[in-house]
Structure 1
Amino acid sequence: MKPSLAKGTRDFTSLEVSRRKYIINILQKNFELFGFQPLETPSFENLSTLTGKYGEEGDRLIFKILNSSINEAKEGKKTQMLNDFQKALDKPFSAESLTDKALRYDLTVPFARFVAMNHGKLTFPYKRYQIQPVWRADRPQKGRFREFYQCDADVVGSESLWQEVDLVQLYLKSFAELKVSVTIHINNRKILSGLAEYAGITDKLIDFTVALDKLDKIGKDGVVKELLERNISQESIDKLDFLFNQSNDALENLLQLKEKFAGNEIGLKGVEELEFVITQSLNLGVNIQNLVFDITLARGLDYYTGAIFEVKADEAQMGSIGGGGRYDNLTEVFGVKNIPGIGISFGLDRIYLVMEELNLFPEEATSNIEYLFANFGGEETSEALKLIIKLREKGISAELYPESAKINKQFTYAEKKGIRNLVFLGEEEVKNNTVTFKNLEAGEQKTVSLEEFLNS
């Protein structure tokens, strides 16, 4: 059988792994600088933990795990169970005889579950970061995978809007160090609720936000078409037409909303919160060009209640490379009230693709071996290994070519692996306590004393 990969998954070469680690190390360093502590949760959760948290479309993308009891059942019972499973495949379902577990869809809901289970032991506000893979049964395309990493930072136990301001700083500092120019798009779910009230479609809030969230993919005409298909009247859509004609001035757009939201309590509250976050961010030196009020930003996850973020690369067509928002009620579904939260996520895989496209990875993002020792056989090989041990003790990477092969073959191996230096420790070098090495990048070869070599 010809080997193949499951759709939406990838193998990573040593170069790709090294570059991914470079991104992760920068994010992890900044998470900790901002006071976040690490957490890891299981790769799969009880299905009941995940369903109902992401909206109808999100629930359809959850990878469900077939119960092992099906495999253990007798043949007749197994056939019946698999037939039932086949009928249920296209519907959200939770029949315990078929499946009661699923791969995690994101890191936020498992985090909320963790907080709900451990809230009596945690010190609030509790700040955690998490860097782990998630899975979605999505249609694979550029920048969209079925298995991918999220790098999240969340704060729970505080309603303070200064958390939003600080997360804007975390985004900008991290992307600045990665040298990725970005724009942070920001909105507030209360504004979206206010818009639904303004248009008389409060009962269609979810339908409205799900359709609006697709604006960058299907355009205004596509959104209007979907709103009509979701039984939202043309009259209501006409009242919302101004959404598609916003100016570039965030504060001016907020002022316009204040006028439309006269007497609209939830809408005005959203404007007030967003005005605070934008104003304070600007006071801290954020460029207004890097922080955009995007009134059409909805983010389709049902659990957001306040600020919502989406980060886009300025110089690459990649969709969002980060996103998040406030979720003040998420732990309530697990029976624990009054633990508000807010979090953001960095899309590792998309950030990688952007940096690769823009050639932003520095040389240190590649984990190359410093020295390859040529293998001459006999006593010289033993002496070479002694020297390799000393280099490794100094934190310098080195390896011995395993066979006593022709030198051209050893050269070719070093070049293909990107090893920087080829070391010759032959009979003469051993006798004279010297080392000969060739820098394969510069093409220069020299002989130095053993002491100079170890101290260089």
Structure 2
Amino acid sequence: MALTKKPVTGMKDIQPAEMQIREYVMNQIRETYKSFGFSQIETPCVEHIANLTSKQGGDNEKLIFKILKRGEKLNLDAVNEENDLVDSGLRYDLTLPLSRYYANNAANLPKPFKALQMGSVWRADRPQKGRFRQFVQCDIDILGDATSLAEIELILATTTALGRICPDNAFTVRINDRGILKGMALHCGFPEESMDQVFIILDKMDKIGFEGVERELLESGYAETSVSQYMELLRGVGKDADGVRRLGGQLADVLPAQVSENLAHIMDTVNEVAEADFGLEFDPTLVRGMSYYTGTIFEISMEGFGGSVAGGGRYDKMIGKFTGMETPACGFSIGFERIVTILLDNGFTVPGEGEKVAYLFEKNVDSSTLAGVIREAMEARKNGVQVLVAQMNKNKKFQKEQLEKEGYTQFKEFFREGLKG
């Protein structure tokens, strides 16, 4: 039986032209984040299954690629349940591994710790444009800082990176706080035990609009007065920092004043010092589905692309699951694959690429001629030129066309009787 040459569903082979863009984007992100004082770390792609299924990853826990036990530990005769077969899995994001990493290494790390992680994650999701089962995430996190400086630095670093990578694409940062989410629902009379269901419905706002959210809340059996008041409150909220402060006043019966003031302070500071050109809006309908978020949450949307291209928030309780002691934590993740998709769709070419020259030599050239070709290539490489040395194909025209797709702009041809071209 012939082996399968196509990659596994939801995963892809990456061609040289795309790889060039991917490396460029990754380098831009890495250098920008390092300029903000983030230190790059790496965690294993495999995590303990108990960590991955600790009810902190939301729906992602349903999408884990699980790994069978190995060797003598895999005893098929003694299997009664899944746990008898599985003890680990591929990570579905970088946040949970980071929390484990910090819990294990905190004594040797600065406080606060500004972490940069870039690596593949895996989710058994339904593949679609810009979404794969194996994909790269680029995360920055600040651990050990409970102040709003963490959110401010994360937003500034992420928007600076996006501004450098996609200077021609308008984007908007939407920001909210889980405390405000809960406060609005409580203020309107929704039972506290129903918060999760209310937020699940609210999270559909982008797809079904205000009318759809209102209809679903009523169909779920919530009081008409509560639903009506809730929709009125959502529609009337201002998008700037002053709007956040006014909302805080309206929710004074259920929301501590520092929650809204803290969010308004973040917005004021970012607007005052940001270098990239982007919008910053308070969005009371922003939910972020991950159950580990405890405070500020944010997403970035980009003009002409459905869905978010970056997202994150504060998760002050996750590290405590490992250590027994709560540690402030906040992070932001760029949707690397989506950014690359946008650049590919726009016909992006990597700027400032060095000169790329192909040296093509005729079949059966003598050893002296070949040595001369390689010697000349080595000299050119010393001067920063990227040189490919290859034997000339029978269909030379097609060979050059393929090399041009990879960015080669000059060709030198070597024949038995000497140089041409």
**Structures share a fold, TM > 0.5?**
yes
Mapped pair 1:112 → 2:99: yes
* Aligned pair partner of 1:206 in 177, 185, 196: 196
Distance 1:3 1:236, change over 3 A: farther
* Closer/same/farther in 2, CA of residues 73 and 48 from structure 1, 3 Å limit: closer
Structure-1 residue corresponding to 2:123: 136
Q: How does 1:23-42 map to 2 (within 5 A)?
A: 23-42=25-44
Using the alignment, how far apart are the partners of 2:216 and 2:48 within structure 1? 33
Q: In the alignment, is residue 175 of structure 1 matched against residue 158 of structure 2?
A: no
Q: 1:102 to 1:229 in 2, by over 3 A?
A: farther
Within-5 A mapping of 1:288-437: 290-314=279-303, 316-364=304-352, 369-375=356-362, 377-378=365-366, 379-402=368-391, 409-418=395-404, 419-426=408-415, 437=421
Query: What residue in structure 2 maps to residue 444 of structure 1?
Result: none
State how far apart, in whole Å, the 1-side matches of 2:228 and 2:276 are.
Answer: 33
Tell which deviates more after alignment, 46-55 or 296-305. 46-55
* SS of residue matched to 1:128: strand
Q: 1: distance between equivalents of 2:388 and 2:346?
A: 33
Residues 229 and 329 (structure 1), Cα distance of their counterparts in 2 relative to 1, 3 Å cut: farther
Q: CA deviation at 1:226?
A: 4.9
Cα separation, 2, equivalents of 1:41 and 1:359: 34
RMSD (CA atoms): 2.7
- Taking the aligned partners of 2:46 and 2:225, their CA distance within structure 1 comes to 45
The SS at the match of 2:142 is strand
Answer whether contact 1:206 1:302 (CA < 8 A) is retained.
no
Structure (1 or 2) with the larger CA radius of gyration: 1
Map of 1:222-261 to 2, 5 A cutoff?
222-224=212-214, 226-227=216-217, 232-246=222-236, 249-261=239-251
1:411/1:422 contact within 8 Å kept: no
CA distance in 2, matches of 1:188, 1:206: 15
1:14 equivalent in structure 2 = 16
User: What SS does the aligned partner of 1:100 have?
Assistant: strand
Q: Is the 8 A contact 1:312 1:322 kept in 2?
A: yes
How far, CA to CA, are the matches of 2:103 and 2:73 in structure 1? 33
Are the structure 2 counterparts of residues 375 and 34 from structure 1 closer, same or farther at C-alpha, using a change threshold of 3 Å? Answer: same
Q: How many residues align?
A: 411
Give the letter aligned to residue 145 of structure 1.
Answer: F
Q: Which residue of 2 aligns with 1:91?
A: none
Instruction: Output the CA distance in 2 between the equivalents of 1:364 and 1:50.
Output: 42
1:55, CA displacement in angstroms?
5.3
Hey, what's the Cα distance between the residues in 1 that align with 2:74 and 2:292?
37
Q: Deviations over 1:268-309 (max 9, x none)?
A: 332111110011112225789610111100101111111111
Counterpart code for 2:299:
E
Which of residues 144, 159, 177 is equivalent to 1:157?
144
Higher mean C-alpha displacement, 125-134 vs 336-345: 336-345
Q: Give the Å deviation of 1:185.
A: 0.6
Cα separation, partners in 2 of 1:248 and 1:287, compared to 1, 3 Å = farther
1:413 Cα shift? 1.3
Partner of 1:146: 133
Question: Compared with structure 1, are the counterparts of its residues 247 and 331 closer, same or farther at alpha carbon in structure 2 (3 Å cutoff)?
Answer: closer
Q: Is the CA contact (8 Å cut-off) linking 1:326 and 1:341 kept in structure 2?
A: yes
Cα 1:289–1:148 shift into 2, 3 Å = closer
Counterpart residue identity of residue 32, structure 1 = K
Q: CA distance change for structure 1 residues 424 and 7 in 2, over 3 Å: closer, same or farther?
A: closer
Letter of the 1:416 counterpart: Q
Deviation at residue 411 of structure 1 after TM alignment: 4.3
Q: Using a 3 Å threshold, how does the CA distance of structure 1 residues 245 and 287 change in structure 2: closer, same or farther? A: farther
- Counterpart CA distance in 2 for 1:395 and 1:51 is 50
Q: Which amino acid aligns with 1:18?
A: Q
Counterpart contact for 1:318–1:350, Cα < 8 Å: no
In the TM superposition, residue 368 of structure 1 has moved relative to its aligned partner by 7.9
TM-aligned CA distance change 1:256 to 1:342, over 3 Å: same
After TM superposition, the score normalised by the length of structure 1 is: 0.82
Out of 42, 66, 69, which is 2:68 matched to? 66
Distance 2:323 2:172 in 1: 37
CA separation of 1:304/1:233 partners in 2, compared to 1, >3 Å: closer, same or farther? same
Query: Of the candidates 159, 180, 190, which is equivalent to residue 179 of structure 2?
Result: 190
Q: How far off its partner does 1:228 sit?
A: 5.3
> 2:178 is aligned with what amino acid?
R
Q: More deviation in 237-246 or 221-230?
A: 221-230
Quick one: which amino acid aligns to residue 412 of structure 1?
Answer: F
Structure 1 residues 411 and 141, CA gap change in structure 2 (3 angstroms): closer
Q: Which deviates the most, 139-148 or 321-330? A: 139-148
Residue pair 1:423, 1:436 contacting (<8 A) in 2 also: yes
1:363 shift after superposition = 4.7
Deviations 1:60-114 (A, max 9, x none): 222322334699546xx28xx4xx66xxxxxxxxx42032212111101110111
| Partner Cα separation in structure 2 for residue 385 and residue 56 of structure 1 | 56
Deviations 1:170-199 (A, max 9, x none): 122111111232111111111112123213
Cα distance in 1 for residues equivalent to 2:61 and 2:217: 21
